[in-house]
Structure 1
Amino acid sequence: MSTPDTAPVLQRLSTLDRFLPLWIVLAMAIGLGLGTAVDGLDDALDSLSVGTVSLPIALGLLLMMYPVLAKVRYDRMATMNTPETRRMLVASLVLNWLIGPALMFALAWLLLADQPEFRTGLIIVGLARCIAMVLIWSDLSCADREATALMVAINSVFQIVAYSLLGWFYLTALPDLLGLDTEGFSIGIWEVARTVLVFLGIPLAAGALTRVIGVRRRGEQWYEQRFLPRIGPLALYGLLFTIAMLFALQGDQITSRPLDVARIALPLLAYFGLMFAAGFLIGRRIGVGYARTASLAFTAAGNNFELAIAVAIGVFGATSGQALAGVVGPLIEVPVLVALVYVALWIRRRWYPAEDAAGRRPPARPVADGT
């Protein structure tokens, strides 16, 4: 019988998650087809707008954020107070909020210096820390599920406070300080903060309230095993709907510039690999064991593309290059992080043989505690 770490990784993903890159490509194709076949669709979508966000796209963005935030165990934030946990959390904060944004800023300017819209879009992606599919990568790699949930909860709350400030710093203040030519582009704190409050604040409050009410009325087992699996696919449906609408609006730009997708993908590939490696090296350095090191690495490597897309659309519009950069993100992230799950399991066998051997033993039978 295959143990969790030896069973094929792809077989342990749901059908929806396993073929996510395919669904994204299909959504792109449907969007391009709609944009070409339906005259005036882009004008119709623009006419149903509040600010720079089309209402149908706004609904799709909120729909894809809510199930993700309903999964977060916010109560875990105060229950893991140990020295090892504190070391892990400090390392997570450094990786997610200092190293990650700085690395994406450097890669964006290095590889997309001549493409200010794509460069800005990637920086926006780098600021959005992972709160969604990292839970899947954590389980597949036999990481510490509770540690991952704790880091996800902290990232969820921290983004409300930090995202807009870091957006202003990396998109306006730091380029000015370094003398980089932003071609007249600048962004205010309130522009980003307003979008974050709407597209993260609303689903965050709804998700937290749903968990409190659901657990209180029906119990945690029902909430985790019955309710969450039912609403989970809504996140993917919202993402695919949003992508289809974006590509319906951006059809001409995309079909006329196919190499742009490849250029956006290159810094993303470098980012995922470097952040994953940094997470494992730091975790090994601080001695938190394989399971928590893997949680640290995947939390650092992944990004919250839902939020990045929402911010790009909210600040720059659905037809912007910034929005396109955000859309390319999940297309690249899923296959890369699936591959990194295999890398993590290989590292466990090589660097953590004792934990690997323990993980392969059959589970012990429960012993009655006498109560």
Structure 2
Amino acid sequence: MLRIYARLAAINRYLTALIALAIIQGIALCICSLSTEELLESLCCGNVSLPVAFGLVAMMYPTMCAIRYESLAPLLRSIRRIWPVFVSHWFASPLIMFSLAVLFFRQQPEYMTGIILIGLARGIGGAATWNKLAEGDADLASGLAALNAVLQLLFYPVYAWLFVAVLPRTIGVAGSGPEATVSQFAICVALYLGIPLLAGVVTRAILISVAGSEWYELFFMRRLLPLRSVSVLLTIVLILSLKAEEALAFSELFLLIAVPLTLFCVTMFAVAFYWSYARGDSYEHAATTSLSSASNNIELAIAIAFAVYGVDSAEAFTTVVAPFVEAPAMIALVTTAWYLNRKLFAPEQGAHRLPPNLANIGKSKLSSNAA
């Protein structure tokens, strides 16, 4: 696991510690300054807080620029590779996270809604980072990121309305305050996902055509990606500066919110990895699909919670806990993928199983035995 930390960018390597510092900063600002809320209200345009809106777009933009959209077309031509992932991402994941949210927060619908919003936002840029560390299928990871970005733009509003407003009432669970509508979710998704997505496509197309893909990946993206983590940290400071009671009781709330998020990651990883292994897929394919299934587009969940329920809402507070849980959970899952690779997959001819060198990339033993 220490080797994985060493391969992360510096800001991602210490992201958990930085988030802890952001929490302390937010609590300190909450206690020492009484004018934060008034300042934010003075920087509003209608019902939109301009600093918050800028921060939310800044969170999404680097991720959208990192997606290799050209990988989407080959993926769509391979139905066999798509349908298991589609089922995992858009049927199993929402239902599992909804079940966990109801199980843990049935009596606290605001936090239940925040958990559900996280589960509906499927992984995009973060999944590519974990896939690279696990040495999964880079082309498949890029294609899935592009596919999830497009599908979230189309499906997230309806899914959010269904799982937040309709299903809880159907099973007799109280909702979180005024019922949000499909149009509210659609507008927020268009603003905080559609605009960064369009900007990312345009940025990628122009810069690659002018400077080349090597410069774009090695120079531009390496300098742009830290903006995502910085924006997440500033968002955490902002929301904790407004949520005094929750901030002061953070340790208890953190544990309550972290448990279903961790269970979700572990469950989705285990189901997707086993499914891929049982089908006789390669390790690269299994690692990519399982890590992608376990990850979430936390930036989108935060943006939707902020825009629909408010900066100082319990729903928004719940979503900002997710980055604190994501890094250690996903690093543990990458380590698990390496371990399963050594135990379940046969190395290619001439390759050596040397875990430190990550050379044990092969095919499923089920596939080898069948041959």
Letter in 1 for 2:287: A
**More off after superposition, 314-323 vs 353-362:** 353-362
Is the alpha carbon distance of 1:57 and 1:179 closer, same or farther for their aligned partners in structure 2, counting shifts above 3 Å?
Answer: same
Aligned alpha-carbon RMSD (Å):
2.0
Q: Find the aligned partners of 1:15 and 1:249 in 2 and give their Cα distance.
A: 29
Shift of 1:181: 3.2
Q: Which residue in 2 is equivalent to 1:34? A: 29
Shift of 1:233: 0.9
Separation in structure 2 between the aligned mates of residue 184 and residue 15 of structure 1, nearest angstrom = 40
Q: Which residue in 1 is equivalent to 2:40? A: 45
Corresponding residue to 1:158 among 151, 163, 175: 151
* Counterparts of residues 122-141 of structure 1 (less than 5 Å): 122-141=115-134
Q: Identity, % of aligned pairs?
A: 34
* Residue correspondence of structure 1 range 1-371 to structure 2 within 5 A: 8-50=3-45, 52-80=47-75, 85-182=78-175, 185-256=178-249, 258-355=251-348, 358=351
Change (3 A) 1:256 1:53: farther
Counterpart Cα distance in 2 of 1:152 and 1:108 = 25
Cα separation, 2, equivalents of 1:106 and 1:125: 13
Q: CA deviation at 1:257?
A: 5.5
TM-aligned CA deviation for residue 355 of structure 1: 4.9
After TM superposition, the structure 1 stretch with the greater mean CA deviation from structure 2, 279-288 or 142-151, is: 279-288
The one-letter code sitting in structure 1 at the alignment partner of 2:32 is A
Q: Aligned with 1:146: secondary structure?
A: helix
| One-letter amino acid of the counterpart of residue 232, structure 2 | L
SS in 2 for 1:129: coil
Task: Describe the shift of the 1:86–1:356 C-alpha distance in structure 2 as closer, same or farther (beyond 3 A).
Answer: farther
Compute the TM-score of the two structures, normalised by the length of structure 1.
0.91
Tell which deviates more after alignment, 238-247 or 296-305.
Answer: 238-247
Match in the other structure for 1:3: none
Task: For 1:98, give the aligned amino acid.
Answer: F
SS in 2 for 1:130: coil
> Which residue identity lines up with residue 203 of structure 1 in the other structure?
P
Residue-by-residue CA offset, 1:254-308 (whole Å, 9 max, x unaligned): 2045412211111111101001101101111332211011100011000011000
Tell me, in whole angstroms, the C-alpha distance in 1 between the residues paired with 2:130 and 2:349: 17
In the alignment, the residues of structure 1 paired with residue 174 and residue 212 of structure 2 have an alpha-carbon distance, to the nearest angstrom, of 55
Alignment partners' CA distance in 2, 1:272 and 1:42: 34
From the superposition, tell whether residues 171 and 359 of structure 1 become closer, same or farther in structure 2 (CA, over 3 Å).
Answer: farther
Deviation per CA, 1:50-83: give whole Å up to 9, x if none: 455421121111111101110101111113466x
Q: What's the CA shift for 1:141?
A: 0.8
Structure number with greater CO (CA < 8 Å, separation at least 6) is 1
SS at structure 1 position matched to 2:243: helix
TM-superposed CA distance for 1:27, in Å, is 1.2
**Aligned letter for 1:43?**
E
The whole-number CA distance in structure 2 between the counterparts of 1:140 and 1:104 is 25
Corresponding letter in the other structure for 1:15 = A
- Between the aligned partners of 1:280 and 1:307, the Cα distance in structure 2 is 25
**Which whole-Å deviations, capped at 9, do the CAs of 1:110-159 have from their partners, x for residues lacking one?**
11111110000000001111112111110111111111010001001110
Amino acid at match of 1:8: R
Deviations 1:296-352 (A, max 9, x none): 001100001100000000000011110011000010111011011110000000110
Residues 134-193 of structure 1: per-residue CA shift (max 9 Å, x gap): 111101111111110100010011100000000111112222333333376522101111
Letter in 2 for 1:20: L
Partner of 2:369: none
Q: Which amino acid aligns with 1:325?
A: T
Q: Assess if the C-alpha contact under 8 Å between 1:290 and 1:352 holds in 2.
A: yes
Farther off after superposition, 174-183 or 296-305: 174-183
Between the aligned partners of 1:53 and 1:322, the Cα distance in structure 2 is: 17
Deviations 1:8-39, CA, capped at 9 Å, x for gaps: 11111111111111111111111221222222
- d(CA) in 1 for partners of 2:100, 2:351: 39
For normalisation by structure 2, the TM-score amounts to 0.91
- In 2, the alpha carbon distance for the partners of 1:162 and 1:119 equals 20
SS at match of 1:296: helix
Of residues 181-190 and 113-122 in structure 1, the stretch that sits farther from structure 2 once superposed is 181-190
Structure 1 CA distance for aligned equivalents of residues 142 and 90 of structure 2: 17
Whole-Å Cα distance in 2 between the matches of residues 340 and 356 of structure 1?
Answer: 27
For the structure 1 residues 183 and 164, does the alpha-carbon distance in structure 2 shift closer, same or farther, using more than 3 Å as the test?
closer
